[in-house]
Structure 1
Amino acid sequence: MPLNLSHKGYSALSKLALASLAVCSFTTAANELGKSAESQASEKINWRDKGWELVWQDEFNDAKLDRSKWNVVVNCWGGGNNEQQCYVDKPDNFEFENGKLHIVARKEEHTGPAERERSPNYDPNNTKTLPYTSGRIRTNNKGDWKYGRFEARMKLPYGQGTWPAFWMLPTDEDYGGWAASGEIDIMEAVNIGAKTDANGKLSDAPETRIHGTLHYGAAWPNNVYTGTAYKPPGGFSPATGYHTYAVEWEEGEIRWYMDDVHYATQTAEGWYSEYTDEAGNKVRRPQPAPFDKRYHLIFNNAVGGAWASNVNEKGIDPDIFPQRLSIDYVRVYQCSKDPETGKGCASISEGAKLVKPGDGH
């Protein structure tokens, strides 16, 4: 996700700072998207014969959330990006049907904690009211991995103001606060089906792009990001059917896939983790930090916020709700050839984009 804002991120921005940064960051990102975002990759990769071994999964067949695998987030914090949903733990926001989990964003006012649970300022009696409810689940301390293949089959919500994500955060934050300890965005999308602004201006063509991104650098506000967008070939929409989204993560390299098409790669030469020592000097940790620690999985279905509300047709269309992020399954694999480094099982296409420092979404 662009620059120093994240619907997942750990920043503690004031409302005034958030508003000014959001407009600048996401306007710039929107203009950059049309220049470099669309990968030309289209070749499907047969990754199943590379040595990946299934080590964890949820097929969502029990018609209820498996609490031994998932924690449910409850707050109205807004993700640090002025998102307009409260994350709740209610059946109406977690529906199950035919072996699928639907994380449902609904237009309904809700009051809940104004800070995220890990904030030093968290107080359940300090509340905030927002106009939407939705869901966010995570596997922290129940499913945590260093290296592997992480895959989910999903159908995305559609319309202006939608912001679904399948992503990973470090469980222990060994290198410091966001984003010094990193963030891996396996799949994000905003406003699927709304008018696209892929070429830097609004057109009548529908938005279909998905995004894969890394966040790293120093702790906010000195964090950076690199990533790219992928426009599915053939003009189909990720909101009209189920598709698979994955990353393969090994020591020093992370690769992104949609429907077994390898569309992007990032390497340790392009990322870093940095801190300031007692003398005020900026010090970079040895590669491949920060992407060499255990991470956990997260799914959420956000509404509005600094990215979704500032691109495409802008704002939130209240008439499209409820909207569902539908998940058929999520699976985690380790490379049987070398589980310690994840190396030896790579699924690589020559058509994938090598994302370099300075590349935005």
Structure 2
Amino acid sequence: MAAAACGGDGGSDNDDTGPVDPPINTRPERCLEDPLSSGYCLVWQDEFSGDAIDSEKWTHERNCMGGGNNEAQCYVDDPENSWVAGDLLHIKAIRKDAVGPGVTDDDPNYDPDDTSASGTYTSARLRTKGLGDWKYGRFEMRAKLPQGQGTWPAFWMLPSEWVYGGWAGSGEIDIMEAVNLKVGGEDQIHGTLHYGGPWPGNVYSGEAYRLPGGINPADGFHEYAVEWEEGEIRWYLDGDHYATQTSDGWYSTTAPGNSNAPFDQAFHLILNFAVGGDWPSNVNDTGIDESVFPQQFEIDYVRVYQCTIDFATGKGCASTDGAFVHNPGLEAKRVASP
């Protein structure tokens, strides 16, 4: 496909001549490079090629609240747990007692000097909130995942403004999660949406995927991505489109008349390495195997693209091989009164 016309949020102004190539060396102001043949253009990236985490792209969250899942770690801003070296971002989970705030960094009661909560591991959770927030696009990471009972790395997105209420009423997009890799042959990654209403009215739907040939994601680097457009989200591993969910299968209890809610607002990126918690501690060998720590989550790059064919909806740049699972999502059962 030829590169799409690049004139702004509405795409080409041509009426019946079809898409045209942009003049050489020109592109929309938001594009860092000329558009790809698919029409996607790079709008944000971190190649982790320096010697420090870029504070203009990422901030550290600092708390011991357990992620809402009874996780064992405290998230800290410490070079022992997160650093850039060798063109990689390293996030390291260490067996180490720590104390810190018992609420999230966005809670109105958050006090960074609070030591009321504790954890038995230290790790890191980085986010782009307020520095990089997007509505629609392609979001990708190349990374090597940690292994062992109790490990839980994730690359995911949360809304920057909770327009449809608290979690998960305003949505959550899990681009990639994995737990307990290499324990009893565990080799799955997961792509999931959380939506519905604020807890306990939250629901989720998603798909697991295995690399072909018995390859384990903990043994090497792989590219994990989603393409998100109005009404549709697609998941990819090394370019293989393995799952799709659409607005027919997600909903918001606080906006029953809006079929695209809650996935029609700006979201930001999160990279974190959790330890234990309700999911990994209850599957495979169960619990946390202290002997496997420390473990590292190594990230080669994170890149964000948007669709030049239609910036406003993200439509027109989809890639698919036709062999994916179309997850039907869940029926809206707790819809608020009009």
For this structure pair, what is the TM-score category when the shorter chain's length is used for normalisation? Answer: 0.7 to 0.9
Match of 1:234 in 2: 213
Instruction: Supply the distance in 2 between the matched residues of 1:351 and 1:336 (Cα, whole angstroms).
Output: 26
Secondary structure at the residue paired with 2:119? Answer: strand
Q: In 2, Cα distance between the equivalents of 1:180 and 1:272? A: 9
Query: Following the alignment from structure 2 to structure 1, what is the Cα–Cα distance between the partners of residues 37 and 224?
Result: 18
- Structure 2 CA distance for aligned equivalents of residues 330 and 81 of structure 1: 26
For the residues of structure 1 that align with 2:258 and 2:119, how far apart are their CA atoms? Answer: 42
Q: CA deviation at 1:112?
A: 1.0
**Per-residue deviation at 1:125?**
2.7
- The aligned counterpart of 1:70 is 58
| Cα deviation code 1:40-71 (max 9, x no counterpart) | xxxxxxx9531110000000111101001111
Report the residue type matching 2:290 in the other structure. Answer: P
Query: Who is 1:264 aligned against?
Result: 243
Partner of 2:83: 95
SS in 1 for 2:154: strand
Q: CA deviation at 1:129?
A: 2.0
Aligned equivalent of 1:26? none
Q: Which residue of 2 aligns with 1:157?
A: 146
Q: 1:350 Cα shift?
A: 1.3
Offset of 1:175 from its aligned partner?
A: 1.0
Q: Which runs of 5+ in 2 are unaligned?
A: 1-34, 332-338
Aligned-residue RMSD, C-alpha: 1.4
Conserved 8 A contact 2:245-2:329: no
SS in 1 for 2:282: coil
Cα distance change, pair 180–296 in 1 and its aligned pair in 2 (3 A)? same
Q: Conserved in 1, the CA contact under 8 Å of 2:50 and 2:85?
A: no
| Partner SS for 2:213 | helix
Gap runs ≥5 in structure 1: 1-46, 196-205, 276-282
Counterpart of 2:261 (choices 267, 289, 292) is 289
* Aligned mates of 1:82, 1:120 — CA distance in 2: 21
Determine which of 338, 347, 350 is the counterpart of 2:319.
347
Contact 1:272 1:285 in 2 (8 A): no
Aligned pairs for 1:121-136 (under 5 A) are 121-123=109-111, 124-136=113-125
Percent identical pairs in the alignment equals 58
Give 1 or 2: higher helix fraction: 1
Q: Secondary structure at the match of 1:284?
A: coil
CA distance in 1, matches of 2:182, 2:51: 29
Indicate the residue corresponding to 1:56 in structure 2: 44
Aligned to 2:287: 315
Structure 2 counterpart of 1:94, one-letter code = S
- Equivalent pairs, count: 296
Does residue 334 in structure 1 map to residue 306 in structure 2? Answer: yes
TM-score (norm 1): 0.80
Shift of residue 126, structure 1, vs aligned partner: 4.6
Q: What CA distance in whole angstroms lies between the structure 2 residues aligned with 1:230 and 1:318? A: 27
Per-residue CA deviation, residues 163-218 of structure 1 (Å, 9 max, x unaligned), is 000000000111111111100000000000101xxxxxxxxxx1000000000001
**Structure with greater Cα Rg:** 2
Residues in 2 aligned to 1:126 and 1:97: alpha-carbon distance in whole angstroms: 31
In the alignment, residue 85 of structure 1 is paired with which amino acid? Q
Higher relative contact order (CA 8 A, sep 6+): 1
Is it true that 1:111 corresponds to 2:99 in the alignment?
A: yes
Q: Secondary structure at the match of 1:274?
A: coil
Structure 1: 4+ residue segments shifted above 4 A: none
Task: Tell me the SS of whatever aligns to 2:67.
Answer: coil
- Measured in 1, the distance between the counterparts of 2:94 and 2:106 equals 25
Cα drift, residue 356 of structure 1: 1.2
